[in-house]
Structure 1
Amino acid sequence: MTRLLSLSSALAMAAGMAAAQDAEPLRIGAAVYGLNAEFMQIWSAALEQHPSVQDGSVEVTVFDGRYDALVQQDQFETMITEGYDAIIFVPIDIEAGAAAVQAAADAGIPVIGSNTRVNSDLLTAYVGSNDVESGRMEAEYVLGQIGCEEGGNVVILEGPIGQSAQIQRLEGNQEALAACPNVTVLEQQTANWSRAEAQTLMENWLTTHGDTIDGVIGQNDEMALGAIEAIKGAGLNVSDFAIAGIDGITDALNAVKAGEMQSILQDANAQAQGALDLAIFHASGMPEGWEPQSEIWAQYPDMPWNDGADKEYNVPWTPVTAENVDALLATRQ
């Protein structure tokens, strides 16, 4: 009898494994605002490195939103029509993206936000970082370098107007500036996360204001790096300017190592893989006892999984320093 039971159990287990192998993989779409720059390229690549994608139980398709809210809306309609199991959303516009979330919710498809935010109560969950905090941190660095009490002049390179990161990082910038009334903001304009646009703006500002500019607050690294190129092109010394950015992209890490700027690492890998774990969990019907597959939850114990029940998961920022820059660069090899 014992042998018969053991045989029966073995057959049942084999049948279950075969069924699991034959099961159709979950189809998850990632609608990202744009793929021109390194940060979102790192974010997207992290999805492909997720264990569930690697073992074939999940298929991920990344849609390039081309920095256009209407393009993202069309991509949502495609995913809804094709019956995707879940969507990860990185919106270009905090308000316009709400219509896309509404359409997915009406179709019964869970939407997980990541990196940038959308004003919608229908979002299933969100995995990102506190952009107000990073905006304050970068501005405080610049102000600390030029001297809050002594005063000086700064310029601000903003992200795309209407995207949550632009809105919230500017809020953080302004919080820091409010504590330094002797510091003047000479110019403030969007460069749309673009290194080339930021370089052009900075060239114009240097022509207008010359060497009276003391600091550059770049709301991302690409724009800070564009400002550095403009400064070099004008024959000025980068060391005469206090420059900060956000993201921790490879060129910025090298610039930090060279003493040209300050950067704050935004962990694209954690944001993307955390969002994918939540997308899998909700697409699977939130099974009891389900455990996330990514290692990022162990990496950030202050951001516990909590059985997938939280609406918001905030990935901590990591200031790039002389002490950790080589280790961070090693991860880009």
Structure 2
Amino acid sequence: MKLKYVLFVSMLMLGFSCNEKKSDKIIIGVSMLSMQNEFIQQVADALEKSAATSQVELIIVDAERSSLKQVEQVESFISQQVDAIILNPCEFEASSPAVDKAKKAGIPIVNVNSSTKSKPDAFVGSDDAESANMAMELIAKKLGGKGNIVMIQGYMGQAAQLDRERGAKTVLAKYPGLKLLATQTGEWDRAKSMALMENWIQSYGDQIQAVFAQNDEMGLGAVQ
């Protein structure tokens, strides 16, 4: 993901240059899904690094996986009269009010890495359904279209989880010989996914022919 592009899009949405402001800097509020997640922390670090080379001041806060807290954080950004908001949504549905409130206040909002039901001014991220489709097609090819699969999912209700599940199941529907033996959340976390995989191995043993993990951290946990 191009984090400089995220900042560029945020500033572009403002419709004015830094020189036209009373302040020398553009202030952008950033609400992140969970700073306990390694990938999300890396995104936040990269945003700060990019901001350091721009006329941008970031206010980064941790939603701690709570969509309610995330909405409250956006309300706080609105009260602080930030120039733009970057949102890393907790949930597809429940984080949507954050987008609605920002747009109603006339503050540009950019969603990063995950989407919401309400449409932001811009979105920066990948096509989760397509990437899951490609990964499951590879599994289907490796198994010759027949075998048992377990699926480790991300945070339930987050757009990335929903879209990756949808993309994977689209492929499963094409191969009657493929069976989804079990599915459960690993919360995008390596350690939790390792524990989950250990439980599945105890329950299913060599019945498991493949593991579909919705991100690399969980995949590494399953391998361990």
- The answer to whether 1:166 aligns with 2:164 is no
Where does structure 1 lack aligned partners over 5 or more consecutive residues?
A: 1-18, 230-333
- Give the superposed CA RMSD: 1.8
2:124 corresponds to: 127
Q: Which amino acid aligns with 1:114?
A: V
TM-score when scaled to structure 2?
0.86
Distance 1:55 1:199, change over 3 A: closer
Distance 1:141 1:152, change over 3 A: same
Return the alpha-carbon distance in structure 2 between the equivalents of residues 158 and 25 of structure 1. Answer: 40
1:179 corresponds to: 174
Shift of 1:43: 1.6
Q: What SS class does the counterpart of residue 49 from structure 1 fall into?
A: helix
1:196 to 178, 191, 195: 191
Return the alpha-carbon distance in structure 2 between the equivalents of residues 212 and 101 of structure 1. Answer: 44
Q: Deviations for 1:271-324, whole angstroms, at most 9, x for unmatched residues?
A: xxxxxxxxxxxxxxxxxxxxxxxxxxxxxxxxxxxxxxxxxxxxxxxxxxxxxx
Return the alpha-carbon distance in structure 1 between the equivalents of residues 60 and 143 of structure 2. Answer: 42
Shift of 1:62: 1.6
Q: Which amino acid aligns with 1:62?
A: I
How many residue pairs are counted as aligned between the two chains? 206
Return the alpha-carbon distance in structure 2 between the equivalents of residues 55 and 127 of structure 1. Answer: 20
Identity %: 38
2:141 corresponds to: 144
Return the alpha-carbon distance in structure 1 between the equivalents of residues 122 and 189 of structure 2. Answer: 29
Distance 1:100 1:39, change over 3 A: same
1:320 corresponds to: none
Return the alpha-carbon distance in structure 2 between the equivalents of residues 105 and 219 of structure 1. Answer: 31
Q: How does 1:1-333 map to 2 (within 5 A)?
A: 23-50=23-50, 53-121=51-119, 123-148=120-145, 151-229=146-224
Return the alpha-carbon distance in structure 1 between the equivalents of residues 185 and 22 of structure 2. Answer: 50
Return the alpha-carbon distance in structure 1 between the equivalents of residues 148 and 209 of structure 2. Answer: 5
Return the alpha-carbon distance in structure 1 between the equivalents of residues 59 and 20 of structure 2. Answer: 22
Return the alpha-carbon distance in structure 2 between the equivalents of residues 58 and 79 of structure 1. Answer: 15
Q: What SS class does the counterpart of residue 27 from structure 2 fall into?
A: strand
Distance 1:211 1:79, change over 3 A: same
TM-score when scaled to structure 1?
0.59
Displaced runs of 4 or more, over 3 A: 19-23
Return the alpha-carbon distance in structure 1 between the equivalents of residues 21 and 66 of structure 2. Answer: 39
Return the alpha-carbon distance in structure 1 between the equivalents of residues 203 and 22 of structure 2. Answer: 66
Q: Deviations for 1:24-69, whole angstroms, at most 9, x for unmatched residues?
A: 311001111112222212222221232xx23451111221111111
Return the alpha-carbon distance in structure 2 between the equivalents of residues 143 and 45 of structure 1. Answer: 37
Return the alpha-carbon distance in structure 2 between the equivalents of residues 113 and 35 of structure 1. Answer: 16
Distance 1:58 1:214, change over 3 A: same
Distance 1:30 1:207, change over 3 A: same
